[in-house]
Amino acid sequence: MHSKNKILLLLLALAIISAGLANSARAGSGWQGPPPPGTVDKNGFVWGPPVDMDAAEDVSNKYETDEDAKKYARPADAIEVILNSVQLDFVEAWPYINKDGRVMIPVRKIAEALQATVNWDQATKTVSFYRPAQKFQWGGFKDIERSELTVTLKIGEKSATVNGQVIDLDTQAELKNGRTLVPLRFVAENFNATVEWMGPVKTVNIDFFPAPYDN
């Protein structure tokens, strides 16, 4: 073989090797594994210790008990509620349609969904929702301004107050199996949510712009 050919072959081999190296470099991002706990990386993330897998309860081959099945059994008449495209989660108390044809929902769940705080007065059996005034730019483009709001409902009464003004209702807040349930549409619409009933699929669709978290 001529020396020129040998050089060409050598160059070709070098080219192939370097191309392979380049490809393998591209194949990974150079990840060296997670940094040690306590590290603050260049983007300001504080790395904590990894999660201890051995501290978990081992439920391998464990089957659900009757008690659990009862606790988590969704009643046949339960209504699905979708908040901003995500189905809400319920345990032990589920939304349902009451005798007035209104969807009732557990208090804590709707308050959480609407970013309201909630208070219960045992003496008067009154539940109160509160939201401070809000002004924010949602998603970086939509200006939203909401005034301070207090909504109260008394168990068994077909009326409510919205910032002190009495409003007549066609249904009432109620206690069911020890849980407080309130009319979903009334509460949600007062808190600037849009409520839609999808009858054929027995589902309530709630559309709501939440205020951003302050952190």
Partner 1 sequence: MRRLILLCLSLFLLIPFYISTARAEIICFGGDENRQHIVNQPVYPIVKYKWERNTGVSNSQPLIVDKSRTPDGQIRIYVQGGRYLWAFDPAGNSLWPNPPVINDKNTTSSYTTYHQTDGRLYSGTTGGSIVVHDQDGRQVPEAIVNIGNRVVSAPLVKDWQGQVIVIAGSDDGSVYVVANLTGKNKAVTRVPIGGVLTSSPAPIGNDGFIIGSDGSTGKVAGIYFADLFEIKNGAVRVKPNPRTRWVNSSIPAGIPASFAVDGDYVLFSHKKGGLYKLNKYNGEIAKGWPNTIAAYSSSTFTNYSPAVDDRYVYFPIKSLRGGNGAVMILNKNTGAKTAQINLNDKVTTAPLVLKQSGSLLVGQAKGWIGVYQIGTWKTIDAVKIVDPPDAPQDRRIPNGITAELSLSDNLLLIGGNYKDGSTTVGGVLTAFTVSSEPVDLFVQSLDPGVPPGQKAKPGATYTATATYKYREKQRPDDPASLLAPLPVVNVKAFRDNYAAVLKVDPDNPGEAAKTTVALSPGGAVTLKFRWTAPNATQTSVGARINMDPSQHGESNLANNIKSVVVPVDVPEEPLDLAAVRVDNINPVYTGNRYVADVFYRNTAAVSVESVLRFYVNDRKVGEKTIFVGANSQDSTQFNWEAPASTGAVKLKATINPDRIVKETNYNNNTATLRVNVQTPGTALCNEPGKSWTESYHLLVSHIYNNKGQHTGDESATKNVTYNESLDMTVTPKDDKGNAITGIKAGYGFYLNVVTTYTTDYETKVPKGLHGTAQAKGGIFPGAQEVYAIFPDGTKVFLEPAGSTQGHINTWQLPEQYRSAIGANSRKHYISENTPDGDYVITVVATDAGRNGLCITKKVILKVNGSMYDDTDTHLTG
Q: Is 68 among the residues that bind partner 1 (CB under 8 A)?
A: yes
x/- mask, partner 1, residues 69-98, rule CB under 8 A, reads xx-xxxxx-----x-xxxx-xxx-x-----
Q: Is 127 in the site for partner 1 (CB under 8 A)?
A: yes
Pick from 3, 65, 165, 168 the residue near partner 1 by CB under 8 A: 65
Residue of 186, 193, 187, 190 lying closest to 210 (CA atoms): 193
User: In DSSP terms, which residues pair with 150 in a beta bridge?
Assistant: 130
Question: Contacts with partner 1 in 12-51 (CB under 8 A)?
Answer: 26, 28-29, 31, 33-34, 37, 41, 43-51
Encode 95-164 in three state secondary structure: CEECCCCCEEEEHHHHHHHCCCEEEEECCCCEEEEEECCEEEEECCCEEEEECCEEEEEECCCCEEEECC
| Nearest CB to partner 1, comparing residues 12 and 40 | 40
- 57 belongs to the binding site for partner 1 (CB under 8 A): yes
Q: Which of 3, 24, 165, 215 binds partner 1 (CB under 8 A)?
A: 215
Least gap, CB of 134 to partner 1 (angstroms) = 14
Distance CA 162, CA 148 (A): 10
Q: Which residue type, as a one-letter code, is found at position 213?
A: Y
Q: Write down the least CB distance from residue 188 to partner 1, Å.
A: 15
Q: Which is nearer to partner 1, 24 or 165 (CB)?
A: 24
Instruction: Convert residues 185-214 into a mask of x (bound to partner 1 by CB under 8 A) and - (unbound).
Output: -----------x-xxxx-x-x-x--x-xxx
Residue from 107, 151, 153, 188 binding partner 1 (CB under 8 A): 107
Q: Which of 190, 184, 175, 186 is nearest to 125 (CA)?
A: 175
Query: 74-109 burial string, b = 16+ CB within 10 Å, else e?
Result: eeeeebbbbbeeeebebeebbbbeeeeebbbbbbeb
**Contact between 175 and partner 1 per CB under 8 A:** yes
Kindly state whether residue 101 participates in binding partner 1, applying the rule CB under 8 A.
no
CA dihedral 188, 189, 193, 195 (to 10 degrees): 90
Regarding 143 and contact with partner 1 (CB under 8 A), the answer is no
Q: Does 100 bind partner 1 (CB under 8 A)?
A: no
